[in-house]
C-alpha cells in the first residue's frame, strides 16, 4: 500500500523497571530515560537512528510538578537524555503536568511529523520516586543536578486546576477527589455502598491479575477483590471508599520511551515493516477545568466526545478494538471511561494491558507511555488488530486518546478546538461560596488520617435554588461509611475556613 511519505509512524518502544536497587544506587531520571531511549532505538531495528533524532520531548517529572527537587534541578532534561544517547536534536521540549501527556505528545508530534516540521522524534518519561523516597529515608544526599546551555522549551502555560475555595475544602490532591466520583457513581448505578465496594474490588482484582504477569510491573502481585477493598492492616482507608490498594502507587522506579518518525525516515533508516505502528485516530479534550464546575460527578462529557472523535478519525467503532489500556489511577476513572466509551466494566478484551496504576505502578505523568508501549507490542503481535489508549490528567480533567494499528493509514488530526467548544458550552450548576440553608448531598468522601476518619468533604446542592456548594463535616465523619449518603439532607453554614455541613437525617 502506498502512503504519504510524511505519514507518522511509531517504530520503537521500551519500558524499564527497578525493583531491587538499594537506597542510593538507583538511576537518576536522566539515566533512566537514556536507558529506555537506547532500548527504543534498538527496538526500531533501524540504523543511524540516534543521529537522525531532531526532537526530544520529556514528560514532566513529579519533582517539577510542585513536589520539590530534593536531589538537584535539571534545566533541560530532554537535552540531558539526548547527550547520553549521542543525539543532537534541534528542539528539546519539556511537557506539562498531566497523565494525559504521553498520548497528547504523541498526537502533537504525529501532526508535526505529518506537516514536515520534524522527521524523527523521541518521547521519554520516568519517575524515580522509589529511589528518591528510600534515599531520603536513609539520609542520603544524591546529586541529580544537571545544567544545559539552554533551558528546554515548554509546551504551554500551565492552567490552575483548582480554585482557592476548592483547596480550602480539601479538594486539591487526587486522593481526595476521585473517591467523590466513586461515591457519585455508586448512587448513579443504584448500588448499595457495600455492594459497590465489592464491584470495584472485582474490577480492580482483574487489573492486579494483569500486573502480576507484566514483567515491567513495580508490584507484580495478584490480589483478590476482598483483599483490595478490606481496610485491614496496611491496607487502610485513604479517602472512603478507597483503601490503599485502590490508590495509584507512585512509589516506583519506572521509565518508558517511544520513537516516532515519518514513513520516509523509517524507509531511509531501514526500519522493518513489522516494527511500524500507525496512529489511525487521536483526540485531546478538557473537562470543565474546576471540579466545582463539573456538570455532575458520575460522567465525563469530555471522555465521551474525545473517544468518539478518535474512533471517527480511525474510521472504526469500539467493537473493532482488540487491545486497550484505560487510565486507571483510581477505579472511578476506569468506570467513567468505560461508561462513556460504551464498554462493559468486565469486557472480555480486558480494560488494561499494564495492570493499572495501583498495581503495575503509577509513574507520575508518564504512566500512559507504558500503556502506549503495551498497545504497540500487542498490535505488532496481532497485525491489523487495532489498539486503543485513553490517558487522563488532573481530576478527570485532561484527556488524550489514540487508536493504533499496524495497518498503514493516512494521518489526520482534527483541531481539538472544534469539539472542545461543545464541552465548554455545557451548563453547570451555579456555585455559591458562602451557602446558608438546607440542601442535599451531591457527592462526598471521608478523608482518613492513618486509617482513622478525620473529616468528610461534601459537595451539595441548596434546596432553595439548586446552587452547588462545597463543605466539610467534622462531627462523626465515620458515620458516613458504608451507608447511603448521596441525596441526604444537610444544613450548611459559611465558615471562616471551610463551610460546615451537618446531616439532618
* Digit-coded pLDDT (tens) for 36-88: 999 999 999 999 999 999 999 999 999 887 667 789 889 999 999 999 999 99
User: What are residue 390's DSSP bridge partners?
Assistant: 326, 401
Q: Tell me the pTM.
A: 0.97
Per-residue pLDDT averaged across 354-371, rounded? Answer: 97
Per-residue pLDDT averaged across 371-396, rounded? Answer: 98
Average pLDDT of the chain, as a whole number: 96
Residue 31 is assigned to a structural domain of this protein: yes
Closest by Cα among 391, 300, 317 to 352: 391
Q: Are strands 242-243 and 323-326 parallel, antiparallel or unpaired?
A: unpaired
Supply the angle between the helices 101-115 and 367-381 in degrees, to the nearest 10. 60
In three-state secondary structure terms, 123 is strand
Domain co-membership, 31 together with 96: yes
Q: Specify the pLDDT at position 162.
A: 95
Residue 208 is assigned to a structural domain of this protein: no
C-alpha 212/C-alpha 217 separation (Å) is 7
End-to-end CA distance of the chain: 68
DSSP 391-443: EEETTTTEEEEEEEESS--------HHHHHHHHHTS----B-SS-EEEEEEEE
Grid coordinates belonging to 228? 483490595
Are 70 and 136 in contact by the 8 Å Cβ rule? The answer is yes
Buried b (16+ CB within 10 A) or exposed e, 329-361: bbbbbbbbbbbbbebeeeeeeebbbbbbbbbbb
Domain's final residue, options 378, 394, 424: 424
C-alpha 168/C-alpha 497 separation (Å) is 7
Per-residue pLDDT averaged across 376-393, rounded? Answer: 98
CATH of the domain at 286: 3.40.47.10
The band of 107, judged by pLDDT with boundaries at 50, 70 and 90, is: very high
Total domain count, the chain: 2
Q: Specify the pLDDT at position 23.
A: 87
Looking at the predicted structure, is the pLDDT value of residue 201 above 70?
Answer: yes
Looking at the predicted structure, is the pLDDT value of residue 1 above 70?
Answer: no
Residue 240 is assigned to a structural domain of this protein: no
The band of 376, judged by pLDDT with boundaries at 50, 70 and 90, is: very high
Domain co-membership, 373 together with 257: yes
Domain co-membership, 409 together with 268: yes
In three-state secondary structure terms, 306 is helix
Residue 204 is assigned to a structural domain of this protein: no
Domain co-membership, 445 together with 305: no
Domain co-membership, 50 together with 114: yes
* CA-angle at 258, arms to 388 and 418, nearest 5°: 50
Percent of the chain with pLDDT over 90: 93
Least confidently predicted of 244-248, 280-284, 310-314, 495-499: 495-499
Domain's final residue, options 372, 395, 424: 424
Domain residues for 291? 8-161+249-424
CATH of the domain at 480: 2.40.50.840
Domain co-membership, 443 together with 393: no
Domain co-membership, 406 together with 496: no
Domain co-membership, 371 together with 416: yes
C-alpha 132/C-alpha 92 separation (Å) is 25
Q: Specify the pLDDT at position 158.
A: 78
Residue 17 is assigned to a structural domain of this protein: yes
* Digit-coded pLDDT (tens) for 393-442: 999 999 999 999 999 999 999 999 999 999 999 999 999 999 999 999 99
Residue with cell 521500551: 14
Residue 258 is assigned to a structural domain of this protein: yes
Residue 117 is assigned to a structural domain of this protein: yes
C-alpha 81/C-alpha 95 separation (Å) is 14
More confident residue, 25 or 2: 25
Domain co-membership, 397 together with 470: no
* Digit-coded pLDDT (tens) for 124-158: 999 999 999 999 999 999 999 999 989 999 987 77
Domain's final residue, options 363, 392, 424: 424
* Digit-coded pLDDT (tens) for 300-320: 999 999 999 999 999 999 999
Domain co-membership, 344 together with 401: yes
Q: Specify the pLDDT at position 393.
A: 96
Query: Which of the 8 DSSP states describes residue 454?
Result: E
C-alpha 265/C-alpha 5 separation (Å) is 8
Domain co-membership, 387 together with 456: no
Residue 340 is assigned to a structural domain of this protein: yes
Amino acid at each position: 500500500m502506498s502512503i504519504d511519505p510524511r505519514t507518522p509512524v511509531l517504530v520503537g518502544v521500551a519500558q524499564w523497571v527497578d525493583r531491587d536497587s538499594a537506597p542510593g544506587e538507583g538511576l537518576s531520571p536522566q539515566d533512566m530515560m537514556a536507558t529506555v531511549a537506547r532500548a527504543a532505538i534498538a527496538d526500531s531495528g533501524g540504523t543511524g537512528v540516534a543521529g537522525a533524532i531532531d526532537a526530544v520531548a520529556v514528560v514532566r517529572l513529579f519533582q517539577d510538578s510542585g513536589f520539590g527537587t530534593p536531589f538537584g534541578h535539571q534545566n533541560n532534561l530532554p537535552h540531558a537524555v539526548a547527550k547520553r544517547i549521542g543525539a543532537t536534536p534541534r528542539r528539546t521540549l519539556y511537557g506539562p503536568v498531566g497523565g494525559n501527556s504521553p498520548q497528547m505528545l504523541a498526537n502533537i508530534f504525529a501532526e508535526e511529523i505529518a506537516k514536515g516540521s520534524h522527521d524523527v522524534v523521541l518521547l521519554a518519561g520516568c519517575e524515580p520516586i522509589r529511589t528518591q523516597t528510600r534515599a531520603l529515608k536513609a539520609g542520603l544526599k544524591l546529586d541529580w543536578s544537571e545544567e544545559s546551555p539552554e533551558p528546554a522549551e515548554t509546551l504551554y502555560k500551565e492552567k490552575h486546576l483548582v480554585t482557592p475555595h476548592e483547596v480550602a475544602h480539601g479538594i486539591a490532591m487526587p486522593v481526595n477527589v476521585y473517591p467523590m466520583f466513586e461515591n457519585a457513581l455508586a448512587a448513579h448505578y443504584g448500588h448499595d455502598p457495600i455492594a459497590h465496594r465489592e464491584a470495584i474490588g472485582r474490577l480492580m482484582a482483574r487489573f492486579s491479575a494483569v500486573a502480576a504477569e507484566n514483567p515491567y510491573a513495580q508490584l507484580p502481585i495478584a490480589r483478590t477483590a476482598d483483599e483490595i477493598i478490606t481496610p485491614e492492616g496496611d491496607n487502610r482507608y485513604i479517602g472512603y471508599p478507597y483503601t490503599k490498594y485502590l490508590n495509584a502507587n507512585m512509589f516506583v522506579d519506572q521509565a518508558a520511551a517511544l520513537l516516532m518518525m515519518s514513513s520516509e525516515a523509517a524507509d531511509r533508516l531501514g526500519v522493518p515493516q513489522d516494527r511500524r505502528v500507525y496512529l489511525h485516530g487521536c483526540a485531546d479534550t478538557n473537562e470543565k477545568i474546576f471540579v466545582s464546575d463539573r456538570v455532575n460527578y458520575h460522567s465525563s462529557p469530555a471522555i465521551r466526545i474525545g473517544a468518539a472523535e478518535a474512533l471517527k478519525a480511525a474510521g472504526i467503532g469500539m467493537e473493532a478494538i482488540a487491545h486497550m489500556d484505560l487510565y486507571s489511577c483510581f477505579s472511578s476513572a476506569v468506570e467513567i471511561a468505560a461508561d462513556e466509551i460504551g464498554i462493559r466494566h468486565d469486557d472480555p478484551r480486558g480494560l488494561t494491558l499494564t495492570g493499572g496504576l495501583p498495581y503495575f505502578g503509577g509513574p507520575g505523568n508518564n504512566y500512559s507511555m507504558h500503556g502506549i508501549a503495551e498497545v504497540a507490542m500487542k498490535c505488532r503481535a496481532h497485525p491489523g488488530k487495532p489498539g486503543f489508549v485513553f490517558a487522563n490528567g488532573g481530576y478527570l480533567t485532561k484527556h488524550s486518546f489514540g487508536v493504533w494499528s499496524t495497518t498503514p493509514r493516512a494521518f489526520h488530526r482534527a483541531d481539538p478546538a472544534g469539539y472542545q467548544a461543545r464541552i465548554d458550552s455545557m451548563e453547570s450548576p451555579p456555585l455559591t461560596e458562602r451557602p446558608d440553608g438546607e440542601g442535599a448531598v451531591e457527592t462526598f468522601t471521608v478523608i482518613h488520617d492513618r486509617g482513622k476518619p478525620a473529616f468528610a468533604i461534601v459537595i451539595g446542592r441548596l434546596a432553595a435554588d439548586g446552587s452547588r456548594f462545597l463543605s466539610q463535616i467534622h462531627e462523626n465523619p465515620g458515620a458516613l461509611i458504608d451507608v447511603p449518603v448521596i441525596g441526604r439532607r444537610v444544613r450548611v453554614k459559611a465558615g471562616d475556613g471551610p463551610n460546615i455541613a451537618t446531616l439532618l437525617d
